[in-house]
């Protein structure tokens, strides 16, 4: 009867060079997440620019309030809401993306820590981003409806189509995330 022997395990000495190369490569791959840090810094600069734009638009409203009719004033307020919602979107991307893909944020004891950071993951970020895009799209659509007399009907149709596309995408993302969460529980 022939003896079946398992192959002899490789000794550490014979496997070390590839282990060292593999370890170095894995370290480089893991460290590559920091390439995203300047991107998040750039988004912070963009958010500062949005804050500046908000203040400029607000100042224009303050200076010209006596010349504005209700429709123009409402459009100005909707513009401020739009800028704020885009800034909120940037904040979510910066904080959520950094915490998910680059490094944990050491904020457990911070009194202003947002609640949504306790369960941030790529699926949650996608759904929150989709919801923000729907909100921004809603503001653009509302602005078109408020100023319907000056809107091209074809543009309004496209805005509705785009809004419905965002809405459908968000529903599909939420549904997909729910299915994935159910699969994780099983």
- How far apart CA 53 and CA 43 sit, in angstroms, is 15
Cβ burial, residue 5 (10 Å; 0-12/13-18/19+): exposed
Instruction: Please determine, for residue 89, whether its predicted confidence score (pLDDT) is greater than 70.
Output: yes
Instruction: Work out the pLDDT band at 114, boundaries 50, 70, 90.
Output: confident
17 has a pLDDT exceeding 70: no
Distance of CA 52 to the CA centre of its chain: 21
pLDDT tens-digit readout, 116-126: 777 777 777 78
Question: What integer pLDDT is reported at residue 38 of this predicted model?
Answer: 95
Assess contact for 96 and 114: CB atoms under 8 A.
no
In tens, the pLDDT along 162-176 reads 999 999 988 888 888
CA distance 156 to 160: 6
Per-residue pLDDT band at 105 (split at 50, 70, 90): confident
Residue 113 has pLDDT above 90, yes or no: no
Does the predicted TM-score (pTM) go above 0.75? no
Per-domain boundaries in the chain: 37-185
- Whether residue 13 is predicted with pLDDT greater than 60 in this model: the reply is no
Q: What is the mean pLDDT of residues 130-151?
A: 89
The overall average pLDDT reported for the chain is 85
């Amino acid at each position: 009867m022939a003896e079946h022997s398992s192959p002899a395990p490789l000794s550490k000495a014979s496997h070390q060079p590839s282990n060292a190369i593999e370890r170095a490569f894995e370290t480089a791959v893991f460290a590559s997440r920091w390439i995203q840090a300047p991107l998040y810094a750039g988004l912070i600069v963009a958010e500062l620019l949005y804050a500046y734009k908000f203040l400029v638009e607000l100042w224009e409203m303050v200076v010209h309030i006596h010349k504005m009719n209700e429709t123009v004033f409402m459009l100005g307020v909707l513009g401020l809401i739009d800028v704020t919602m885009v800034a909120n979107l940037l904040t979510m991307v910066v904080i959520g993306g950094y915490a998910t893909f680059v490094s944990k944020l050491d904020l457990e004891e911070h009194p202003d820590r947002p609640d949504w950071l306790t369960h941030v993951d790529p699926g949650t970020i996608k759904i929150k981003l989709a919801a923000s895009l729907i909100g921004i799209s809603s503001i653009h659509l509302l602005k078109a409806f408020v100023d319907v007399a000056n809107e091209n009907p074809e543009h309004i149709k496209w805005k509705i189509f785009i809004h419905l596309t965002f809405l459908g995408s968000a529903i599909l993302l939420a549904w997909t995330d729910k299915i994935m969460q159910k699969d994780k529980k099983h």
